[in-house]
Amino acid sequence: MKNLKQFIIGLVVAVLAIYFTFRNVSFGELLDSFSDVNFLYLIPSTVLIIISFAVRGLRWKILLSPIKEVKTTQIFSPLMIGFMGNMLPARAGEFIRAYLLAKREDIAFTGAFASVVVERIFDTFMLMILFCWLLLFNSHIFSSETKFSGMTLDELAFKFGVLGCAGAVILTTFIYMMCFQKNLVARIVIWVSKILPKGWDEKIQTLINKFNEGLDVVKDKNALIKITFYSAAVWFLVALSYYPLYWAYDLQNKSAESVGILLVMVCIFIAAFPTPGFVGSFHLGVSVALHHIMGEDEVIALSYGMVVWALNMAVVVLIGIYYILTDHLSPSQLTKLGEQSEKEMAS
C-alpha cells in the first residue's frame, strides 16, 4: 500500500511535469522535429552510456572490496537491474541492487547498501564541484525570470546547492563518526536505546556493525583516490553521452558550458521532482537548460530531451531485461525484491 501511494504520487508529479514542459508545443511540431535529426549520432551516445555503466561497476567493485572481493562480471547484473528498478515506486533500484548483490555474494545487505550510500556521496560531491564551477564562472545563466513552483531559476539553483551541500556534509559527518568515532557512536546508541523497547539496543548495534563493514573503504587512501577518479569519469561520460546529440540536432551552442548546464539542470529537476523513471522531471530539466537558458528553439529542446531520455531508458531496460532473464527473475519478483530490501533495512 505504501509503495502504491508513492507510485501514484510520483505519477501525478510526472504528469504535471510533462504538462508544464510540453504545454506550448503541439504533437505535430514534435513529430516534425524528428525528421531533421541525424540518428547516426545515437551510436556514439549509446556506446558512451554503456561505458559509463561499466565504470560505475568498476567503482562499485572497489567500494565493496573491504567486505568481499567481488568479480567484475558479478557486479553488472545487480547494477543494471537496480537502475532498471528506479522505474518502480520510490526509485527502489538502490535497495534492489544492494539486495541482489548481498544474496548472490552471501554478504550482509546493510554492508552492500552502505557501499551504495558512499557511492551516492561521491556522486553528490562531483555534481557540487560542477555546480560551483557554473556559479563561479557562469552565474549569469541563473538570471532567467522563468518560475517553477513559484521559484525563479536562481532561487531553485540556490536551494539545490544548499540542500546538496547540507546532505553531503551530514552524510560525510555520519560516515566519519562511524569509521573514526566508534566509541562516541556506541555511547549515542546506548543513550538512544534507553528510550526504546527492550532488545532494540542489540538490534541497532548489530545494524551499525554490519553497515560499518561497507564504510571501511573510506579508510583506504588508495581506494579513495580510485573511487574519486571513477566518480569523475562516470559524470564526464554521462555529460559526454549528451554531446553527440548536439550534433544530431545541430544545436546553436555546442560548448562544454552548455553540456555542463544541461547536466546540472537535469540533476536539479530529477532531485526536486522525483518521478518513476525520471519521466517528466528529466524532460523539464532539459527544457530549462537548452531553451530557457541557452536559447535553443523550444520544440528542438523538447525533442532533444525525448530522444536522450528514451536512449538512456532503452540502454538500461534492454540490459536490465537481459540480466533479469539470465537470473530468472520476473517483474513481480523485482517489485517484491524492492519491498523485501526495504523491510530488511528497517529490521
Mind listing the pLDDT tens digit for each residue in 225-241?
999 999 999 999 999 99
Beta bridge partners of 147: 152
Per-residue model confidence (pLDDT) at position 271: 78
Q: Is residue 302 part of a domain?
A: yes
Q: Is residue 11 part of a domain?
A: no
Q: Is residue 312 part of a domain?
A: yes
Q: Across the chain, which distance is largest between two alpha carbons, in Å?
A: 68
> How far apart, in whole angstroms, are the C-alpha atoms of residue 16 and residue 48?
31
Per-residue model confidence (pLDDT) at position 226: 93
**pTM given for the model:** 0.82
For the chain, report the end-to-end CA distance as a whole number of angstroms: 19
> How far apart, in whole angstroms, are the C-alpha atoms of residue 74 and residue 56?
13
Q: Is residue 205 part of a domain?
A: yes
Collect the ranges in the chain with pLDDT lower than 70. 1-7, 9-11, 88-91, 135-161, 164, 179, 182, 185-186, 189-190, 192-214, 330-347
Residue-number span of the structural domain to which 293 is assigned: 25-346
Number of domains in the chain: 1
Helix or strand or coil: residue 152? strand
| Residue range 141-177, pLDDT digits in tens | 666 565 555 666 666 666 666 776 777 777 777 777 7
Q: Is residue 288 part of a domain?
A: yes
> How far apart, in whole angstroms, are the C-alpha atoms of residue 282 and residue 85?
17
> Please, are residues 142 and 153 in contact by the beta-carbon 8 Å criterion?
yes
Q: Is residue 181 part of a domain?
A: yes
> Please, are residues 291 and 297 in contact by the beta-carbon 8 Å criterion?
yes
Q: Is residue 20 part of a domain?
A: no
